[in-house]
A and B are shown apart, each in its own frame.
Chain A
Amino acid sequence: MLVEDYGDRVRTAAGYLTRLLADGGTRVDNPPDEPVAPGDDRPVELRPDAEIVEMGSDPAPGVCVAAVDGGSACLVNGRSFWVVAFRAGTVWHRDRATFREERDELDLRALTQTDARAEYAKALAAAGVVRERELADLGGVVDVLRELAEWRRAREAVALADPGDVVLVDGSLHPGAFLPATYVAPVHELALDRGVDLVGVTKASKLRWGRYAPLVLRVRRRAEAEVGHEARWFLRVTDDAEAAGTGWRSEVYVARLARQGSYAFRVDTVRGRRSAQELFAVLAGLSDDPAFLGYPYPLARVHQFVSLPGHLLADLRRDLREAFLREGLDEDDVDLVMRDFHLTLNA
């Protein structure tokens, strides 16, 4: 049953959001979970005249493109403990065809809050970096474990790539809230040393313009006004000043990589040899698959390759359930542990 003034409420909500999108501010928020510069959560000033640059599309014959992504899921949420699964993988693509796919074995961990912290510390120690902050909640550990696996794969891909090749990662090139910059920075440096272009594409960016206007949407609207609806373009969000004195060489852009398709993305780059114009042309060349127009195909491929589809999760949950029973748990206890009562209510 809808409230009596349902229509008014919808109109009010739409009007409020429209005003947010019209925010004329120039600052880009630097949210802690998706920073544009390391170790600094100050907003970034985006000049109103920041250039919208149009680029071509380069099929980049012979160039190898590695794409890295991870998949994770919570199999059991016992509130005080979790059973999580994750894996990462890499696909290698050249001349419009994927020629190699590698995927980690699925990693399954059962964690309590205490275990999670220990696991987090252990993972960072294994990577040779110092823990800078503590995990805020139990759920975050699966993201951290997956990201660690992804960055390990990114490092391996950069090491294997030849100069002029491209390594794509899913998400930003900046460490998240719980990954120290010291873990990620060496990968950037390795890319620079080897002349490999390292690129991160964020599918759903949290970057905000002004108060709450999504940055990507605002930039796209500006670009459409300036260069039209059927153009490929990029706009650099950060400039060298943000990285000055940090040794940090990654750049943050918003880009539309195909002349058709409604998507634009945040794109982070550590450019090996190519200019921004050249690199974005290569990215555009990778983003012409008709099923994923505007998104680099190798990233779409690796996403599908490492994701944990519903049937796999169902199999894992069934195996887990049987293992519980073999351990001597009775059916009612297993139901209590594994069944989410929300599902019962929603059924």
Chain B
Amino acid sequence: MPDQHPGYRGRIFGRSVLDVRFRAFYGEDLFLGELLVGADAERDRRYLFRVTDVAYGSESSDEGWAERTAGGLMAMDRVGEPTGIRDVERRLYKVAKVSSLGYVGPDRGFHKPKSLPAQFGEVTAPARSDLVFLRERMGDIEIGRLRSGEDTIDLPVGIRGETLPSHVGVFATTGMGKSNLMKVLAGQLLAARGRYALLLFDPHGEYLEGGAGRKGLAHHPWAAERLRVYSPNPRPGQGNLLRLSLAELSVDDLRTAWKFTGPQSEALESARALLGDKGVWLRRLAEEEPEDLKDAELGRHALATIQVLARRAKRIVRLPLMTEDPSQSLTGKVLGDLADGKVVLVDTSGLEAVEETLVASLLTRSLLTERADAYRTDRERFGLLPRTLVALEEAQRVLTRLDDAEFNVFPRLAREGRKFNVGMCAVTQQPKLIDAELLSQFNTYFVLGLADERDRSILRSSSKQDLSDLGPEIQTLMPGEALVTNPEAPFALPTKVHLYEEWLATVPAPEAARPRPVGALKGFYD
């Protein structure tokens, strides 16, 4: 490859406003997602490009040249005289297809791409000055560094905490760095000095300790001050025993956790209305014979239906974390911690999926109700409450239908939470299973590697930024690499997410109380 100045990549040769092509030397190693700059000296503009595809070109006008030449190489391989092409850089080159993300004009402002960069303009790696506009738009919740292809640029990528109530989606196949991202996100909120709160459900028990060779939120320097852990089986000194009251469970929580048929839903409503309030209805369903209930209050419902309700009620009542004594419930404490700007980790790792959903539903509904009440009755107090994020794994289980918002708190949170400063962080491997309209409520996407085209497709169609050209890039994301989209960012930001353990080492600890200077109190009590 000829010697050029560092960062030189090639020259533009077309083709349209949204589909720019440039030619690069054969030896240039171009990557999908790489960020580059096209100089338009004629108009003093610097266009920002993202590489969306790379192909080979050759000086030969014969369309079959490359195929024929490969055949020539194979023929020589066959006779044991492997050869190579001569004058490679003179005969071969690369053609990169790039999407124009916009340009920085003479006013130093960033503009959407509505014009063609100068033909044959020079393409280079972005200089620090090219990305100043981006630096100014990065939020206070930093999750990584800007990535250009496989390189990392020293520019923090983050989202603004004010946007948390506009909901966050974390989409990734197993092993692509979801948990690490969630720890970084939670870690940032821990260090936010109470400006934001997080209710984090941990079904795999991985966030607190981090697992083998990893670190968790417990290792965060702000953990003692800002992390609160609730678990049905807390380790000594590591958390509170999670207790929830039967009286707090609503019919809607049950309908969120299980699928009920129409008649079963009707029977559930009847039981709630006829068998006693404050959780008595659940206890009676669990403890009394279905036949007796059929003969008494639930006579208009089929026995088989009542039997289903009874089985499910038994499962709830027998949960160790459930108590009949409302005074033992820790829901109020959880809400208090959240109001205080804490990160609340609810360890649901010992629970089965429906039970986990039941717990998440109860706490989320309680939170949303509390914030909605504050909004309606005490705007001053509401204004003091921190913006709060509810993070739920396997979110596709509870976000399949927008219509479920009638009883399911999670679609309701997605639809109404913004008003009450409560956002949802949906973590899932299968965004295709989430209702498209619900997905469109999510303003921030963290897209990590996704293997399934249908998953990528639904994100492309629902993202707040145009991801249409980025299918191959999403497909080829490596663990820890992400695309971040939200309305604040001028385009989908290629990001290298901080490795939690490395990032943790950079987090400053809370300042200890300064020792009182000698003589500070002198004369104070005089």
Contact = CB atoms under 8 A, between A and B. Distances in A.
Interface of A: 57, 93, 96-98, 230, 258-261, 288-293, 297, 301, 304, 309
15 contacts: A96-B86, A96-B87, A97-B86, A98-B86, A258-B76, A260-B76, A260-B78, A288-B83, A290-B73, A290-B85, A291-B65, A291-B68, A297-B86, A297-B87, A309-B61
B319 interface: no
Interface string B72-102: 1101101101011111001100000000000
Contact of A98 (B65, B72, B87): B87
Top 5 A-B pairs ranked by shortest CB distance?
Answer: A290-B72, A260-B75, A288-B83, A290-B73, A291-B69
Interface in B394-432: none
Contacts of A289: 72, 83, 85-86
Given A290-B69, A290-B70, A291-B69, A96 B76 contact: no
B72 A293 contact: yes
B85 to A, nearest CB: 6
B81 A291 contact: no
Contacts of A290: 69-73, 75-76, 83-85
Classify the interface of chain A: helix, strand, loop or mixed: loop
Nearest to A291: B69
Interface of B: 59-61, 65, 68-73, 75-76, 78-79, 81, 83-87, 90-91
Contact of A260 (B79, B84, B85, B91): B79
Nearest to A101: B90
A292 B70 CA distance: 11
Contacts of A301: 86-87
A230 B79 CA distance: 8
A288 B76 contact: yes
B400 to A, nearest CB: 56
Contacts of B73: 290
B3 to A, nearest CB: 15
Nearest to A309: B61
A118 to B, nearest CB: 38
A230 B86 CA distance: 22
Nearest to B73: A290
A291 B85 contact: yes
Given A261-B72, A293-B75, A293-B76, A57 B81 contact: yes
A213 B60 CA distance: 33
Nearest to A258: B76
A97 B88 CA distance: 8
Given A259-B79, A291-B65, A96 B72 contact: no
Contacts of B68: 291
A205 B74 CA distance: 28
A73 B84 CA distance: 33
A281 to B, nearest CB: 13
A112 B514 CA distance: 104
A261 B69 CA distance: 11
A182 B147 CA distance: 69
Given A97-B86, A98-B90, 12 more contacts: A96-B84, A96-B86, A261-B72, A289-B83, A289-B86, A290-B84, A291-B68, A291-B72, A292-B72, A293-B72, A301-B86, A309-B61
B123 to A, nearest CB: 25
Nearest to A310: B61
A60 B78 CA distance: 23
Contact of B87 (A97, A258, A309): A97
Contacts of A261: 72, 75
A57 B82 CA distance: 12
Nearest to B88: A97
Nearest to A294: B72
B522 to A, nearest CB: 85
Contacts of B65: 291
A260 B80 CA distance: 11
A314 B91 CA distance: 24
A260 B72 contact: yes
A259 B75 CA distance: 9
A57 B87 CA distance: 19
Nearest to A289: B86
Nearest to A96: B86
B505 to A, nearest CB: 49
Nearest to A290: B72
B442 to A, nearest CB: 52
Contacts of B70: 290
Contacts of A98: 86-87, 90
A235 B410 CA distance: 86
Contacts of A259: 76, 79, 81
Contacts of B79: 230, 259-260
Nearest to B61: A309
B81 A288 contact: yes
Contacts of A293: 72, 75-76
Nearest to B60: A291
Contacts of B71: 290
A51 B300 CA distance: 110
Contacts of B85: 289-291
A260 to B, nearest CB: 4
Contacts of B76: 258-260, 288, 290, 293
Nearest to A57: B81
Contacts of A309: 61
A93 B87 CA distance: 9
Contacts of A297: 86-87
Q: Which of B73, B79, B86, B87 has the most CB of A within 10 A?
A: B86
Nearest to B91: A291
Nearest to A284: B81
A96 B85 CA distance: 8
B64 to A, nearest CB: 11
Contacts of B90: 98
Contacts of A258: 76
A304 to B, nearest CB: 8
A291 B83 CA distance: 11
A300 to B, nearest CB: 9
Nearest to A95: B86
Contacts of B81: 57, 259, 288
A301 B90 CA distance: 10
A103 to B, nearest CB: 14
B93 to A, nearest CB: 15
Nearest to B79: A259
Nearest to B65: A291
B67 to A, nearest CB: 11
A46 B68 CA distance: 36
A293 B60 CA distance: 16
A41 B78 CA distance: 43
A301 B59 CA distance: 11
A289 B127 CA distance: 40
Nearest to B74: A290
A288 B72 CA distance: 9
Contacts of A97: 86-87
Contacts of B60: 291
